[in-house]
């Protein structure tokens, strides 16, 4: 999990240099980067919010459910199954969801053959149950990596809205709100900063 250590160390260094606010650190990632974001949010207590775009939450499920092209990819990265199942479980955020306290928003294409939507849905359900602020935004007709301009725009706006609510700032423009479970206060706040 060197990528998680690198992300944490990089964020802490930036905060120590006074280049970022150490109390408002956010981690975001797509696909394997989404896995890194979820691992950092689960196994470390550094980031105030997380953003996962079609990220992996369960390595065992990924090995079982992913498409044929990447079906043995994890054998090289982690080790062969079933011999290394313990490592797959140890490095899967879902199997340690009880440790995660970081508010997180998940974005998922419903037609994703690489990281199927159950990866996000199961993690979101676990966070909802635990009372962690969480949002889930899904997009019909999108696969692994968003392609449609409307999807890209909506995901970026939803991310900004979510981060504004979690970090306590109001985006400059009106943004359609997203549902945030387990967040105290009004859920339909329309954010607009005074100009």
Q: Given this model, what pLDDT does residue 113 score? A: 86
Q: Mean pLDDT throughout 6-32?
A: 95
Q: Given this model, what pLDDT does residue 187 score? A: 45
Q: Given this model, what pLDDT does residue 177 score? A: 95
pLDDT tens-place string over residues 49-76: 999 999 887 766 665 655 444 555 444 4
Q: Given this model, what pLDDT does residue 165 score? A: 95
Q: Given this model, what pLDDT does residue 192 score? A: 30
pLDDT tens-place string over residues 123-136: 999 999 999 999 99
Share of the chain above pLDDT 70, in %: 76
Q: Given this model, what pLDDT does residue 186 score? A: 53
The yes-or-no verdict on residue 180 having pLDDT over 80 is: yes
Do residues 165 and 183 make contact, with C-beta atoms less than 8 angstroms apart? yes
Q: Mean pLDDT throughout 86-106?
A: 77
Q: Mean pLDDT throughout 25-45?
A: 91
Q: Given this model, what pLDDT does residue 87 score? A: 61
Do residues 143 and 117 make contact, with C-beta atoms less than 8 angstroms apart? no
145 is written with which tokens? 């990596």
Residue 168 makes CB contacts below 8 A (sequence gap 6+) with none
pLDDT classification of 104: cutoffs 50, 70, 90: very high
Residue 163 makes CB contacts below 8 A (sequence gap 6+) with 26, 49, 51, 169
Residue 153 makes CB contacts below 8 A (sequence gap 6+) with none
- pTM for the full model? 0.82
Structural domains in the chain plus CATH codes: 26-149 (3.40.50.1820)
Q: Mean pLDDT throughout 99-123?
A: 91
Do residues 51 and 27 make contact, with C-beta atoms less than 8 angstroms apart? yes
Q: Given this model, what pLDDT does residue 190 score? A: 36
Residue with tokens 């706006």: 157
């Amino acid at each position: 999990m060197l990528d998680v250590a690198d992300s944490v160390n990089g964020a802490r260094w930036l905060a120590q240099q006074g280049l970022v606010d150490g109390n408002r650190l956010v981690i975001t990632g797509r696909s394997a980067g989404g896995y890194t974001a979820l691992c950092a949010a689960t196994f470390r207590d550094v980031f105030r919010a997380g953003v996962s775009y079609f990220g992996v939450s369960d390595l065992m499920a990924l090995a079982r459910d992913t498409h044929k092209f990447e079906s043995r990819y994890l054998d090289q990265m982690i080790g062969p199954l079933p011999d290394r199942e313990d490592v797959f479980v140890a490095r899967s955020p879902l199997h340690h969801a009880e440790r995660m306290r970081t508010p997180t928003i998940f974005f998922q294409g419903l037609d994703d053959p690489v990281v199927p939507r159950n990866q996000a849905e199961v993690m979101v359900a676990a966070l909802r149950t635990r009372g962690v602020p969480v949002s889930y935004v899904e997009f019909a007709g999108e696969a692994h990596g968003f392609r449609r301009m409307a999807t890209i725009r909506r995901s970026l706006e939803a991310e900004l809205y979510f981060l504004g609510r979690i970090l306590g700032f109001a985006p400059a423009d009106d943004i359609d709100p997203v549902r945030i479970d387990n967040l105290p206060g009004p859920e339909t706040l329309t954010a607009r900063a005074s100009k």
